Every structure is written in structure tokens, then in C-alpha cells.
Amino acid sequence: MNTPISRELIDKSIEEFGIKDFSKATIREVKAIAALAEKKSGVEFIKMEMGVPGLPPSKVGVEAQVKALQGGIARLYPDINGLAELKSEAARFGSLFIDTDVKPEGCVPVTGSMQGTYASFLTASQCVEGKDTILFIDPGFPVQKQQIVVMGAKYKTFDVYHHRGEKLRAKLEEFLKQGDIAAIVYSNPNNPSWVCLRDEELRIIGDLANRYDVIVFEDLAYFAMDFRKDLSKPGKAPFQPSVSHYTDNCAMLISGSKAFSYAGERIGVVCMTDKLYHRAYPGLTKRYGGGTFGTVFVHRVLYALSSGTSHSAQYAMAAMLKAANDGTYNFLDEVKVYGERAHKLKEIFCKHGFHIVYDMDMDQKVADGFYFTIGYKNMTSGQLAKELMYYGISAITLTTTGSEQEGLRACTSFIEDHQYEELDKRLTIFEENNK
């Protein structure tokens, strides 16, 4: 069977990494195998496995960071609580773009949202004895579960695919009534499906968080990137949907990586409600001798993890948020290209017999965005991921995201203009070989 890359080469490359079940290959493993196969074969891979921004970074951020570095800021340790201007602008950003009230005190810079979730999970799992489990509304970012494993905590998960709308209530209560859930986490827009939880669903999550006294961590890594509506105007509806409208038991994670294309400097902000920041928990008092969720998060957990966040990057994030808040910088204008790429890629895949796995967002078509999901006939996730490698196309399986559906997550960030035609050619061969 003719394929752009020999099957033997791919199989041998996978074997070198000791991967027995390709459906469980991590993002980094798929990336490394693709790089190795590309080097050995000389065939350019169409890489869709990594969720890494491929756009130029925000000039507003770069200029502010360079200015701070030239001013000698690198000589100083950052304040563990965060740069005052960044905290203030993050609170403003929450008000203007989410229509929610958070205080500057509760807005804490972190070394990317990855550190934000790690510190959040760790703190939440220590709050109340017996509540030591994190509940994932999946599919989700695979590495967050790895974080739980690394810290020795526990997690539970369910695929939201069949539990949208009012159905979400019963499914959540199945877990919450067991009494061991410390916190709930989800991304919105969702990585990888790109479905967006609606206000009615966020209200359900908020109501149950109040009733069962659990914390909600809202991962807003792809802030306002539901391109079906314009969420880019500060202080004007529509706003980024958020559970913070329905519960005070929550924290929102705002990342510099995707919306501002500032991934390399590892900067984000965890925005805790005032109630959560100042709440004392018996487990934290027993372990640390006192403190509140917020002070333990900052002065115990973050201090132990990194002793603060890159000083100069905080100046960059503060400047980007300020410009967005002032209305002088429309950050979404720069990232709409992801949606345009997704639209083109979906058309090519569907033309050759693929289907979009998470195709509907309740009664609407799912948005075109940073990610989309593809399946092919009756192929399992692992079979499809491996088969596409023979065609120089790399993506990760939905299995690794906690999804119960068969298929792959594809990312648009590294797609180059010349690759659309090449993808069409390769999928023509794929379709012929897999009739």
C-alpha cells in the first residue's frame, strides 16, 4: 500500500519510543515521533498535535517587557503576590470582559496557567479532610490529569458529550453526592472539542458548587475565542461566559499564551473571588497553622513551587491587559486566524470521508477555533492516529483527553498556507487506501 512515508519507518520510530498502545501516546511523544520520522524520511509533517500558538506575540507585551528589562528589573525578585499594576489590570479585565467582580488582591500571577492549575489543585485537595478528589468535566487538557498524578492526589472524570444542558445536573450530582470532590475543573471554550458551556450549564455548575461546597476552577486558556460572537469589546455585552456569575466558590485562570500569543514567557493570572481568597479551611489550618485559601495558595504553595513569576513577563501581561481594558488593543483580532484555519481544515478532512466528532454545540454548530476533532468511519482513536502518521499527519487521540468518543484532536496553530493543498493530496491517497 503506497503511503507518503513508509510504514516500516513509522513503525520503527514508534517502537524506538517503546509505545505499545498508540492511543495513549502523549502530546510530547507524538511530537517527538513526528520530528524523528520527518528527519528520517525528508517528508514535511503536517503537525496538529501541539496546542502551541504559532502567531507573533503581542507587540504591546514585548515592548513593555523589553522596557522593564532595560530598566534593570531582572535584578529584583518579584513580589510573590504579584506586580501591583498587573493585579489591578487583571481585576479590571474581569470586570470589563467577564462582567464579574474580583479584587486585585485575589488576582495572582502564575508561571502560565499550567502552574495555576497545579497550585489550585494542590491547595483545593488540602482544604477539607476527605475531600481530596478533583472532578474533570471532560474532554480536557491531558496534562492536568498528569499534574494530579504527580502530586499524588485523586481525580474522577466524565465525558460531557451526552450530558449537555439540564442533563449536566444529574451527572454532576452522581459525583458530588459521594462527598469526596474538592473541586471541579473544565475549559471554556473546551480543549479539545471547542464546545462552549452555556449560561444555563454554568448556572447548574454554580448552584451545585454552592450546595455541595466545592470549588470550581474555570480554565479560560482560550479566553473569548468563541468566534461565533464578538466578545472583544470592553464593558459591552456579550461577555465571556463564566461560572463566577453563579457562585463565589471559584477561581478563573486567564492565560497569556493563546489570546495574547505570549506562550514563551509562561505568564498567566489566577483570579480568585474575594470569598474564596479569604476563606479559611480546617485542612489548611491543620497543615499550615492558619491562613486562608488565597494566602496559602500564594505564600505556601506558589512560594514552594517557584518563589514567584518572571518579573519582566508580569510587566508584559499588565500592559496587554491594560491596552485591552482601555480599548486600544483588540487582542481577538490577532487570533481570529485560528478559526479561519479550522474552517479550511474541516472542509478538507470532511471532503475525504472524515467526520467532525464534536460537531454540535447543543443546538448550534460547534465554533471554528484553535482545535477541532476528527474521526474516520469505524477506526478507533489509536488506529486513526497511527494510520495518519504514515501520511505525515500528526494529531493526538481523544482517548488522552478523557473523551469516550473515537477520534483525534487537531490543532490549527502550526498550519502553513502551503499545507492545505498538501493535506488535500495526502488525504486523497488516505481515502483511496482506506475505502
Whether residue 226 is found in the same domain as residue 159: yes
Report the alpha-carbon distance of residue 140 to residue 124 in Å, rounded: 19
CA distances from 93 to 89, 100, 232, 238, 240 (A): 6, 9, 11, 14, 11
In a domain, 50, yes or no: no
Whether residue 161 is found in the same domain as residue 140: yes
Which of 326, 346, 378 is where one domain is finished?
Answer: 326
Whether residue 273 is found in the same domain as residue 387: no
pTM for this predicted structure: 0.93
Report the alpha-carbon distance of residue 228 to residue 368 in Å, rounded: 8
Whether residue 143 is found in the same domain as residue 285: yes
- Residue 54: predicted pLDDT: 79
Mean pLDDT of 212-233: 95
Residue 20 has pLDDT above 90, yes or no: no
In a domain, 2, yes or no: no
Residue 187 has pLDDT above 90, yes or no: yes
Report the alpha-carbon distance of residue 309 to residue 210 in Å, rounded: 32
Decide if 182 contacts 134 (C-beta within 8 A): yes
136 φ/ψ angles, rounded to the nearest 5 degrees: -95, 125
Q: What percent of the chain has pLDDT over 90?
A: 93
Indicate the number of domains in the chain.
Answer: 2
Mean pLDDT of 147-164: 94
- Residue 51: predicted pLDDT: 83
Report the alpha-carbon distance of residue 248 to residue 272 in Å, rounded: 9
Strands 181-187 and 133-138: parallel
In a domain, 37, yes or no: yes
Sign of the Cα torsion 377, 380, 381, 386 reads negative
Whether residue 19 is found in the same domain as residue 81: no
CB atoms within 10 A of CB 330: 14
Residue 32 has pLDDT above 80, yes or no: yes
Report the alpha-carbon distance of residue 323 to residue 311 in Å, rounded: 19
Report the alpha-carbon distance of residue 227 to residue 72 in Å, rounded: 40
pLDDT digits (tens, 9 = 90+) for 296-340: 999 999 999 999 999 999 999 999 999 999 999 999 998 999 999
Query: What amino acid occupies position 260?
Result: F
Name the residue range of residue 35's domain: 7-43+336-433
- Residue 270: predicted pLDDT: 98
Whether residue 224 is found in the same domain as residue 265: yes
Report the alpha-carbon distance of residue 210 to residue 246 in Å, rounded: 9
Strands 360-361 and 364-365: antiparallel
DSSP letter for 184, please.
E
* CATH number of residue 415's parent domain: 3.90.1150.100
Whether residue 402 is found in the same domain as residue 285: no
Here the cell at position 18 is 517503546
* CATH number of residue 118's parent domain: 3.40.640.10
223 φ/ψ angles, rounded to the nearest 5 degrees: -50, 125
Which of 292, 326, 360 is where one domain is finished?
Answer: 326
